[in-house]
Structure 1
Amino acid sequence: MWGWNLADVYVTWILNRDWLFFMNNRDYFVAVFLLLPSAVGHLATIWGHYFRSEREFQHSIAKVTTSDSVKRKIPLWEHHIWFGYTVKYWILVSLVAIASIVWPIQATVPYRGEYGEYGVVGAMGLILGSASGSAMLGCCSLVLFFVLRRSMLHALGFTYAEILPLHRWLGVAIVVWAILHTIGYLMYYIWDGSLSEGFNFDTAIANVMGIFAFGFLLILAILSIPQVRRRFYTVFMSVHRIMTVLFIVCTIFHYPYYILWYYFLPSIILFLVDRFVPKVIQTRTLYPFVSCSLNDDADIIKMTLTSPEPMKPYYPGDYITVQVPEIGTFYHPFTVASYWAEDPKSITLFIRTYNENKRSWTAALGRLCGTEGRRVRIRANVDGVFGDRRHDYLKSEVVVIFAAGVAVTTFMGLIRAVAAHIASSSEPPRIRFHLICTFRTRSELHAYGSFLHQITRDPRFTSWLHVEVYVSRPDKAKTLMGAHAHVIKNDIQVPGQSVKPEKKKKRFQSLRRAGTKIKRALSGRATAGSPTFPDEKAKPMNQSEKEAPISPCVVTFSEGDNHTRGDSADTVALEGEIMKNPTSGKTETTTVDSSNSSGSADLKTKPSTREMTYDSKRLPTFHDAQSTAVATRFAKLDLTASAILFVVPLALWYGLRAVIWEGSVHYCDVMTEMTRIQEKICYGTYAFAPPVGHFILFTAIGYFAMWFSRRTLLRSLKACNPKDIESGKHLENKNLPYPYFDIEDEDLSVEDGNWDEGDVVYSTGRMDVKVVVDRFMDEGVGAVGGDIALVTVFGGGPEGFVDHVERQVKKSKWAVEFHRETWAP
């Protein structure tokens, strides 16, 4: 857009080429200097999207085992300066600001000699109206460019999260320019005395359409206010799209000039390609039905999407958007929790349902999936996978992750990828990870399958990964005493740092009583902090033992192999007590070092049996799964689909332009005198046809491509259509991954938390971020004045939690590089 503006100004006003004012010649000019560079640049970005992610990820993760004693400095390009934004972001803002200055100059300076006849007020009004109108159109030409999930700016190191604020600020600029545009022309019409004539349906339909465009823009602005947008996000997204289309259409009728489609068409093409092509690829790749199950104790949905062949490689932090037709047309974004190399044919999502708001999208999904932890099949459409994350943080010596609830899924793939690389490397790990996560209840902790259990037990993780788990509140009453009582496990429960001693006993006393009774009734296991006996009936616990307070210590992992499990359940002995495993009869000695300077205790237990160390399950890498070959295949498919959607509508438009409709210049002769009606028909048709016609044709081709891709997939599986799956005709087809549609006869609660080999160590009470930060600083990690490139901190979870973590980091002057991982809309 900037290059075309410079070329247009040079050819039009400096060289004074009259041939440029013939419509066909300007078409060719625009095609060479605007449309073709945009298309080629985007296609190159798509090709690089597949291989740049692989190359950068492999380059970054190699640093995990690469020794480097030189201190790592953050490049100037990536430094955060004003208002927390990086240098590269402000450079981009400066370029947009320069363009915003050029657009008004281009619209007013060439006509500066014509304003003298309008007087001071009239001239000022015309200058203000023309300049602001041109600037508004320029901002409109870029506003869609900054919401592309696969943008040319990603090759320069920008991420979607970094670009999105510029989209919002451009929206603010459009509103400001529109207000100034309105004020300017009101000044002119008042000076001219033609205000009533300038705004009526008989003689000034263009101005009336401008009023409608301004009204739609104000609706856009009101719904985009952060507080309104976050409170009514689904409404915002639906209305935002409708109002955007109406605003563009009314703007074209308001200013029916051919130059409009030069502003709008490139961004419209790139936006449609960005929205349709990933959907086409996923409809060709993924099965039309997904598996979902609701853990109603934890309010967590587990959704699994499957494919008959390896799908496009995705990397830690990537996300997809999911649409469930039974709920609505809205595509909801979710971070991928699975690790591609482990199973290239599936994607796993963990979705937190917000039952506090019965009208929410996730609550509706929970009702659709909710059958007491059993799998059901639902129809779903997927858009993605998307990801522009840079993994430069792996250059750090220490990575600290604060995760609240379901945000832990954001880092599951990363932790697995690091573990796989370390396991396959002959070099020792150079980096240290600290995962500090907090959950509302034990049920939520257990909702994430065996992930937390493995990373706290498997030596391939515990050698470099240190985990702290906090549970902030008791389980629901129905969980403690109802059908899901098996979730109440033999966890090692210790009080958290932020809970005062006088409140601990009162807060968790009823929980311990109920949990002890249920555990003894179901499995005979022991509670941490109380003695156990091989025969509970022979020697029952007395009242003082039942209600004995738990020792005031916090379990941390200062050394990778300090904590191991017994044959069946973990047990803890405080201050050197001897404890006995109730199921195996073996005696183990566990000691707690209460003198730990950080206020925590280290558990030291004798090594356990080999069969419990996960060594039999290999940790695959991306190279093992042949990610490059898979990416190449999808890149070719992506480029083919993108090229078709680029070429066909444009070919149709230029074909129509080649037909002689009215004389040798086609459509209309702008170099000759025309009546006012002829001029409006000429310019209006030329301004309206390319962007609107392209949008309609592009959308039709896109939806046809999605339908054809789905049919192709089902045909390859020898299934007639999705209705065959619903009717049960697919049961004879062994190619489909789900022979039973209604409900699979499998209790996922066993898979997602009920482990016979032991459970997760956690601390009771809320996580005190300040205490954790001070502890790291006391140990010399990120001390004041240190190199911030050596320590990376992630805050993941709801925006309020992430804000709290960021405030504590800044307040403590912790020398770290901070990253936000929040799902605030």
Structure 2
Amino acid sequence: MPSPFSVFILLCILFPVGYTLADYELTWERKIGSNFIYNVRDYYVLGLCIAPTVLGHIATTWGHYYRAEREFQHSIAKITTPASERQKISLWEQHIWCGYTVKFWIMATIAILMNLSWFIYAMVVGWAEMQTRFGNNGIPRIIANSSGYAAIACSGMIMFFVLRRSMLHAIGFTYSEIIPLHRWLGTALVGWVTLHAVGYISFWATQHKLPTEFNFRDIDRGSLNMSGVFAYGALCLVGLFSFPIIRRRFYLVFITFHRFFGVMFFIGMTMHNPNQPMMWYYILPTIVLFLVDRFVPKMMMARTVSPEATCSLNADANVIRMTFTSPEPMKPYYPGDHIMVQIPSIGTLYHPFTIASYWPEDPYSITLFIRTFEDSKLSWTCSLAKLCGTEDKRIRVKANVDGVFGGRHHDYLNAETLIVFVAGTAMTRFIPLIKAIAAQIAFSREPLRMRLHFICTFRTRSELHAYGSFLHQITRDPRFTTWLHVEIYVSRPDKSQTLLGAHAHIVKNDIQVPVKSMRKEKKRLMSLRSAGSMLKRALSERTIVADVEKSQPASPTETTIPIREKGVEVDETAANSKESSIRRTDSIHTVVDLEAITEEVESTTNASGSNPGKVSTTLAAAAVASSPITMAYQDQPLPTFQASNSTSVATRWAKLDLFATCVLIFVPLAAWCGARTVHWEGHINYCATSKIKGIYLTANCYWKYLLIPGVIHIVVAAIAGYFAVWLARTILLRRGQDVEKGLSHPEFPTKDERPAIEDGNWDEGDVVYTRGRLDVKQVIQGFVDAGVGKKEDGSRLVSVFGGGPEGFVDMVEKQAKAADWFVDFHRETWAP
């Protein structure tokens, strides 16, 4: 049963849709009210079209985006639902044709039917009149007239499918699901306008009036039709630069042309047929939502996030780590959410990135991982990499944030088995999700119902370093290993300039190296860090590798691979006694069991008799290899949203968002309504009698009543929006100064010289991976052979996620659908 909230949102969507379908009769046939100033039709539009749209958006803001704790907890609680309770993926969420869900195809069908109804209704109503006036020569004209009306109505709906915070999200849609509808409607718009142009050109050619209809001498409708020609040219350029090959390779060019020529098309379209000033109503509701959608999230993040971010580049892994901070708890963000980031020194374009951090762990920050591998040297990410420092010297950069965006429904958690295939930085989508599941397991008294398999692949071994803290925890912490099955693959050798082994800093809360006094060891630690390459070379030999081609298991259930230490003289007997085992309980579950090394660091140092400030390669290796490694995971709680008081924090931010939304909606609308009551040409009958003075004067009269109120609305909304962003940032900076006054620690320097322990630096030798390419087909066949997702079960409770570059996701989807099983496939890719 749908909730009352969902029913209300559906009604708010259906009212404008119904009014738009009936609008041809009211506007073009009955011609309700005057064409110039405020009249009875304004009441119809405000009451039946704009008011439901505004109320639906406000309700979505309050009941969906910020009071989302209930939605998320309802979804995450499904993983600990007793097995006796039957669960299934709803028909609404199932993926069917071309990888799209049932709900997507329902929405696409509605959009198609609306487009056809606009065209067919106009054809039926105007057919008899055109036959009477022009005979068979009138057929091209009625086709052109009907397609032109469909183009106008379609242009009003097209922006609704590009909103980042949409009413459609409240009924289960995500941005990635509705953006294809925007592209399809764009194609339909080009088709309608082309049909409109061809139809009228054919008609005027049969009437021998082409020279009088297309000119700048204002003979008949010459100047009006020329504005239509410019609008059509602008639309064609928008379509041309929207081809995938241009959109993906030259995104900056695409988005610049898309915005500029899109505005030119709307201006040319309205000037092309100004004898119906009410045409603005077709696009006014979505313009209201579009402006709010662009300004309010920026204002919220300007009030929340400091205008400077810290960033560091892991040159070995080609991964940038960027962190945004706040002096107070941020509005809660949930697994799968993303933000838009702009670096003013690089450009004005905002780029989307999935949030890798888990809000309950640190409500005061947001962490991103940004990949730069194989990007063009002129790309945005490579320009950012040049600005960033190293992991030992993080750099502050000016940055603006827009967001947070994302879906609130996690229906894939209904599945009894969730299989995730992920490549590279796409794993950031699942880091907070896995942590949230672990927290739910610890919080709930019910046993885990879901089986989760996490299969990730990286290009090089050094790329593991960027996510080392997380990978180490999920493969070592028993609170994860008891339910999470992990497989890690490395497909290529490291770059030639990369030193063997990753950075060797201690991982906070992941691996602890006990010493007698951390203060006494501070200088020695800094010396170890300065040793750099020597330490990396020493640590590189501790990597545990399961070579997919060379390693042969001793038995079907257990494989033993010894750790070998090069650069250190290790007794052969001791080495054999301290070897590590990789135990494979089945073809899917991998668990690592490394014995702790028991020698003390200082005893080794004293025995060597060397100066701690000058560390040799042998001593560095011996110090780390002989340090007792103890797990501190159990001492750290798994934070939950409830424990972090997310509901009260979200409600506080929701009130601010709601206030800003109402201001940016109602103030510009009031300005627009006021402008509609003004007689821009003087006395009230001026425009009504201007027809006798010529077409051009009449067009100018119409243009004023059509464009001026709309321009006033946009200008007022823009002023209010930019002022809100400036005011929010001013309040944040003042708030940040107040917070800093009460802190005892010094301000964060421009270049952080402290050891970046919390940045995930670690020795990747403590994580097991398989050397070789990930064979998705073979892995999937292993699941099928194990009886996962059998078709005869018909349970529809197996979900497969593909995350990463679009080519990788397409390959996973192809193999998943080709296998002899029944699964629900989900995509996670940011291909533009």
When normalised by structure 1's length, the TM-score is 0.84
Within the alignment, does 1:23 sit opposite 2:37 as a pair? yes
Alpha-carbon distance change, 679 to 219 in structure 1, aligned in 2, over 3 angstroms: same
Name 2:7's counterpart in structure 1: none
In structure 1, what is the Cα distance between the partners aligned to 2:763 and 2:567?
A: 22
Given that 2:804 and 2:828 are in contact with CA atoms closer than 8 Å, whether structure 1 keeps it comes out as yes
What is the one-letter code of the residue matched to 1:383? Answer: D
Q: Which residue among 205, 213, 220 is the counterpart of 1:190?
A: 205
What does the per-residue CA deviation read over 1:210-230, in whole Å, with 9 as the maximum and x for residues that have no partner?
111111111111111122211
Q: State the one-letter code of the partner of 1:250.
A: G
Aligned length: 750
Query: After the TM superposition, which of the residue ranges 681-690 and 320-329 deviates more from structure 2?
Result: 681-690
Q: Bigger CA drift: 781-790 or 656-665?
A: 656-665
Question: Bigger CA drift: 118-127 or 659-668?
Answer: 659-668
1:300 counterpart letter in structure 2 = V
* Aligned residues of 2:690 and 2:698 also touching (Cα < 8 A): no
Give a deviation string over 1:371-420, Cα, whole Å, max 9, x none: 46421000000000101152111121111111111111110000000111
Distance (whole Å) between structure 2 residues aligned to residue 285 and residue 736 of structure 1: 22
Q: Give the letter for the 1:135 counterpart.
A: A
> Quick one: structure 1 residues 219 and 7, their matched pair in 2 at CA, closer, same or farther if it must change by over 3 Å?
closer
Provide the secondary structure at the position in 1 that maps to 2:492.
coil
> 1:615 is paired with a residue of what secondary structure?
helix
Q: Percent identity?
A: 49
What residue number does 1:231 align with?
Answer: 249
Report the residue type matching 2:657 in the other structure: D
Secondary structure class of the residue paired with 1:640: helix
Asked if the contact 2:24/2:122 (under 8 Å) is kept, the reply is no
Q: Secondary structure at the match of 1:450?
A: helix
The equivalent residue for 1:630 is: 649
Return the letter of the residue paired with 1:739.
Answer: E
Aligned residue runs from structure 1 range 798-813, under 5 A: 798-813=805-820
Q: Compute the displacement of 1:115 (Å).
A: 1.6
The gaps in structure 2 that reach 5 residues or longer are: 1-15, 502-531, 553-559, 605-626
Tell me which of 489, 493, 502 is aligned to 2:544. Answer: 493
Structure 1 residues 531 and 491 mapped into 2: Cα distance closer, same or farther (>3 Å)? Answer: closer
Task: Give secondary structure in 2 for the equivalent of 1:261.
Answer: helix
| Contact preservation (8 Å) 1:555, 1:763 | no
Q: Is the 8 A contact 1:353 1:363 kept in 2?
A: yes
Structure 1 residues 504-547: Cα deviation after superposition (integer angstroms, max 9, x where no partner)? xxxxxxxxxxxxxxxxxxxxxxxx94475899437589xxx99x
Aligned AA (1:178): V
Answering whether residue 49 of structure 2 is matched by residue 49 of structure 1, we say no
Contact 1:49 1:150 in 2 (8 A): no
Which residue does 1:739 correspond to in 2? 747
Match of 1:242 among 225, 250, 260: 260
Letter in 2 for 1:116: Q
Counterpart residue number, 2:422: 403
Verify: 1:265 aligned to 2:284, yes or no: yes
Distance 2:192 2:170 in 1: 31
1:772 to 779, 788, 793: 779
The residue number in structure 1 matching 2:516 is none
Write the deviation string for residues 251-307 of structure 1: whole angstroms up to 9, x where unpaired.
122222313201111111111111110000110111110011100010111111111
Q: CA deviation at 1:6?
A: 4.6
**Does residue 316 in structure 1 map to residue 348 in structure 2?**
no
Q: Is the Cα–Cα contact under 8 Å of residues 82 and 449 in structure 2 kept in the other structure?
A: yes
> Are residue 650 (structure 1) and residue 664 (structure 2) matched?
no
**Contact map agreement 2:91 2:102 (CA 8 A) in 1:** yes
Kept after mapping to 2: 8 A contact 1:794/1:818: yes
2:225 is the alignment partner of 1:211? no
After superposition, give the CA deviation of every residue in 1:769-795 in whole Å (9 maximum; x if it has no partner): 111111111211123433352211111
Aligned position for 2:507: none
Any conservation in 1 of the 2:472–2:767 contact (CA below 8 Å)? yes
Residue 709 of structure 2 is matched in structure 1 by: 690
Q: Structure 1 residue 823 and structure 2 residue 807: aligned?
A: no
SS of the residue 1:717 aligns to: helix
Counterpart Cα distance in 2 of 1:340 and 1:122: 66
1:742 is displaced (CA, Å) by 2.3
User: How big is each residue's C-alpha offset from its partner over 1:600-652, in whole Å with a ceiling of 9 and x where there is no partner?
Assistant: xxxxxxxx999515111111111111111111111111111111111111212
Give the stretch that moved more between structures: 67-76 or 314-323.
67-76
Q: For the Cα contact (< 8 Å) 2:214–2:223, is it kept in 1?
A: yes
More moved, 650-659 vs 701-710: 650-659
Aligned positions of 1:346-495 closer than 5 A: 346-371=365-390, 373-480=392-499, 483=532, 486=535, 488-489=539-540, 492-495=543-546
Query: Which letter does structure 2 place at the counterpart of 1:191?
Result: T
1:131 aligns with 2:146: yes
Residue of structure 2 in register with 1:517 after alignment: none
8 Å CA contact 2:312, 2:393 repeated in 1: yes
Which of 74, 88, 102 pairs up with 2:89? 74
CA distance in structure 2 between the partners assigned to 1:363 and 1:484 by the alignment:
25
- Does the alignment pair 1:752 with 2:760? yes
Q: 1:292 to 1:610 in 2, by over 3 A?
A: closer
Contact map agreement 1:42 1:151 (CA 8 A) in 2: yes
Which residue is equivalent to 2:155? 140
Larger CA deviation: 792-801 vs 353-362? 353-362
8 Å contact 1:375–1:743 — kept in the other structure? Answer: yes
SS in structure 2 at match of 1:402: strand
- Following superposition, the deviation at residue 196 of structure 1 comes to 1.7
**Contact 1:447–1:752 (CA under 8 A) maintained in structure 2:** yes
Query: Closer, same or farther in 2 for the Cα pair 1:631/1:620, shift >3 Å?
Result: same
Q: Distance in 1 between matches of 2:534 and 2:183?
A: 48
Question: Counterparts of 1:284-323 in structure 2 under 5 Å?
Answer: 284-323=303-342
Hey, what does 1:699 align to over in structure 2? 718
Aligned mates of 2:448, 2:570 — CA distance in 1:
50
- 1:85 is the counterpart of 2:104: no
- Provide closer, same or farther for how the CA distance between residues 531 and 213 of structure 1 changes in structure 2, counting only shifts above 3 A: closer
Please state whether the residue corresponding to 2:754 is helix, strand or coil.
strand
Distance 1:735 1:251, change over 3 A: farther
**Does 2:616 align with 1:565?**
no
Q: Return the alpha-carbon distance in structure 2 between the equivalents of residues 315 and 43 of structure 1.
A: 21
Residue 455 and residue 557 in structure 1: after superposition, are their counterparts in 2 closer, same or farther (change >3 A)? Answer: farther
State how far apart, in whole Å, the 2-side matches of 1:149 and 1:241 are.
16
Match of 2:48, SS?
helix
1:161 aligns to what? 176
State the alpha-carbon separation in 2 of the partners of residues 736 and 359 from structure 1: 43
Aligned match of 1:789: 796
Conserved in 2, the CA contact under 8 Å of 1:400 and 1:793?
A: yes
Which secondary structure state, in structure 2, belongs to the residue aligned with residue 180 of structure 1?
helix
1:59 aligns with 2:66: no
TM-fit CA distance, 1:311 = 1.0
**Which piece of structure 1 moves more, 19-28 or 298-307?**
19-28
The corresponding residue for 1:255 is: 273
**5 Å matches for 1:549-560?**
none
Structure 1 residues without counterparts, runs of 5 or longer: 503-527, 570-579, 586-607, 720-729
What is the CA–CA distance in structure 1 between the aligned matches of 2:758 and 2:100, rounded to whole Å? Answer: 46
Hey, what does 1:681 align to over in structure 2? 700
Decide which moves more: 474-483 or 558-567: 558-567
CA contact (8 A) 2:159 2:290 kept: yes
2:239 is aligned with 1:221? yes
Distance 1:17 1:221 in 2: 33
Cα offset, 1:763, TM superposition: 0.9
SS at match of 1:139: helix
Q: CA deviation at 1:446?
A: 1.3
Query: What letter matches 2:288 in structure 1?
Result: I
Q: Quote the Cα distance in structure 2 between the aligned partners of 1:50 and 1:250.
A: 36
Whether 2:134 is the aligned partner of 1:119: answer yes
Change (3 A) 1:810 1:387: same
TM-score (norm 2): 0.83
Separation in 2 of the partners of 1:767 and 1:705?
49
Residue 326 of structure 1 corresponds to which residue in structure 2?
345
Match of 2:506 in 1: none
- When structure 1 is superposed on structure 2, of 325-334 and 390-399 the one drifting more is 390-399
- Once the two structures are superposed, residues 792-818 of structure 1 have per-residue CA deviations (whole angstroms, 9 ceiling, x without a partner) of 111111011111111111121332111
- Larger deviation, residues 120-129 vs 213-222: 120-129
